[in-house]
Chain A
Amino acid sequence: MTAVPDIEFRGVTKRYGAVTAVSGIDLSVPPSAFVALLGPSGCGKTTCLRMIGGFEQPSEGQVLIRGQDMAGTPPYRRPVNMVFQQYALFPHLDVEANVSYGLRQARPRLSSSEIRRRAGEALEMVRLAGYGGRKIHELSGGQQQRVALARALVNKPAVLLLDEPLAALDKKLRTDMQIELQNLQREIGITFVLVTHDQEEALSMSDFVCVMNGGRIVQLGQPSEIYDEPADLFVADFVGKTNLLAGKVAGHAGDLVDVALADGTVITARKRTSLRQGEAVSVSLRPESLSLGASDSGPLKGVVRNRIFLGSTAEYAIEVQGIGTLLAKADHLIGQGNLFKPGEPVAIGFAKGTPLAFPETKNSGTNQRVNNHVEIIS
């Protein structure tokens, strides 16, 4: 017998008037998983989360929680709790009253000693023991985040929903909280569904990433799959940094294609879907899969324009005649002096099988992408 999924979407569509926010989504989230819904703003990820929480009703299809159809079930009768964007803590209540709010709604009523005990436990879990009497506005952003977590977890939900929970924190705190959230999820063992537009956050924290675009799921998989084997051009471009090189299919060999780039160079790439001879394609090359060498040791030749030294690595913007500016990333080994200087000619190579060819989609507007990378690094 397979376990009943914690969350299941069956053909879920959500329309607001003429606008379709979510379009025919099927999704099944296994128990005790950490899932990230990842996508650009307006991709429907928050709508999906709000349909689980019960704040929106699907126009079509079903949302099931632990096998139960949630149609018509109001938010206050669903076994899920949410950590809201910017936390939505009650300003008129102190920390303990915020955390115990859910407990005080329980019917039959819990005894006040029971409420105090469980609220205390929840605060301890997020390492805020002793903060119970504080006012919300006296807390830092990170502490408010923890109060929101404790408040959502105190009712022991089947699923915890997190709506951009780290967006309001600074970078250092965000990294700490990522680790803390991951530990918390393992510790209590319930399913976490995280909504984020930050691909780094999605990749670093979750067991599964569900990439969404235009109201649909584009790819569902483990973070490394999403990064290494993106399903289409959108995922390749959205998740992580990549170089997209425009070209045309020049030849086939099994699941490999030869692609003629704009400057006439032919490179061999793996393909994800069948491609016609002469079809316009984009070839994705991750910056870290490029290797830089002396001026005639690789298929592409260019000139270093910018160098961004990051300590353990260095990033280079390299202008390749007829193709555009490519972003390359190289490990920096101390004492090896392997840094290239701006103005230096370099040859760009890559391991066989690392380039991925995708059919050029009409609506994604990716034709300009190669040039856009200049913005990322300057």
Chain B
Amino acid sequence: MHGNRFKHNVLTALLLAPATLWLVVFLVLPFIAIAVFSVGARAPEGGYQAAFTLAQYANLPARATAFWNTMVLAPVGALACLLVAYPVAYYLALKAPQRWRLILLALVVIPFWTSLLMRTYAWMYILGGRGIPALLAFVGIEDVRLINTPGAVLLGIVYGYLPLMILPIYVSLERLDRRLLEASADLGATPLSTFLGVTLKLSLPGVMTGFSLVMILLLGEYLIPTLLGGGKVFFIGNALVDLFLQSRNWPFGSAIAITLVAVSVVVLIAANRISSRVSGARRVDLI
């Protein structure tokens, strides 16, 4: 009996070892390093010097703009993504003919297989001087500026993260028991109240999963603001790159990174709380 249990435990440990090792080496240790750095001081020639001070955290307001941009554009971007994604997911899950469903779903995912960098470059062209503004000038609307604006960054965000929003919503809508919709109609609910009272509520876990997924990735977004924001729309991700690679102020960068992680965790917990309270149903766990 004991021998068996021991064998069983050894096997479990062996199976879990690679993943545990990986996470410890590449996630936990770096995280501890960053946490330690964040209470340290910058060495005179850049990098890290041992110290214990909260000066880096006190200095956070120096990067208030990056925080502000991120804190505004991440939720707004996630929300814009949601508004575009929900009707698509709804159509795919509930309205699209069965035999087209997989093909349409594939069409949503396939662009994802190309690098985000390439796709964002494409947008640079489309929004840049020789893209849409040139087209508008041709029909007489001059001097339209699209690239390097918050709007361009938002567009890039929605475009880049759309599949991440569509898929979890699609999953929760696809799982939705259609008889619940019939029951709602049977009880006198108009299509609108059925949507608000049943469909939307029961798809909230998917909405929350998609929303927090996109939002968390946006909190660390670097590429899209760089390419489509042209350095004018500065995200925390850009600030981190700048601090670690350019000005080599590792402790300050670490403090910002730790703050970012803390914010992400809060967002995640809040999203889970809200969805389980409202829908009362199981969550769609993708993260």
Which residues of A are interface residues toward B (Cβ below 8 A)? 53-55, 74-77, 80-82, 84-86, 88-93, 101-102, 105-106, 135, 151-152, 155
Contact = CB atoms under 8 A, between A and B. Distances in A.
B191 to A, nearest CB: 8
B198 A90 contact: yes
B188 interface: yes
A155 B197 CA distance: 18
Contact of B202 (A53, A85, A92): A92
A88 B177 contact: yes
Nearest to B193: A105
A76 B185 contact: yes
Given A91-B202, A92-B281, A84 B182 contact: yes
Contacts of B184: 90, 101
Contacts of B189: 76, 101, 105
A77 B190 CA distance: 9
A152 B278 CA distance: 24
Nearest to B181: A88
A152 B185 CA distance: 12
Given A84-B179, A102-B188, A92 B193 contact: no
A81 B193 contact: no
Nearest to B202: A92
Interface in B232-246: none
Contacts of A101: 184, 187, 189, 197
B283 to A, nearest CB: 12
B267 to A, nearest CB: 23
Interface of B: 177, 179-180, 182-190, 193, 197-198, 201-202, 278-281
B264 to A, nearest CB: 27
B188 A84 contact: no
A84 B280 contact: no
A352 to B, nearest CB: 51
Contacts of A84: 179, 182-183, 186
B281 A151 contact: no
Contacts of A74: 185
A22 B201 CA distance: 36
9 contacts: A53-B186, A77-B188, A84-B182, A84-B186, A92-B198, A92-B278, A92-B281, A105-B189, A155-B187
A27 B186 CA distance: 22
A155 B183 CA distance: 13
A131 B182 CA distance: 25
A232 B188 CA distance: 41
Nearest to B280: A92
A75 B281 contact: no
B188 A105 contact: yes
Contacts of B177: 88
Nearest to A78: B186
A323 to B, nearest CB: 47
Contact of A55 (B182, B188, B198): B182
Contact of A76 (B180, B188, B197): B188
Given A75-B182, A105-B193, A91 B281 contact: yes
B180 A105 contact: no
B280 A82 contact: no
B186 A91 contact: no
Nearest to B188: A105
Contacts of B201: 92
Contacts of A93: 280
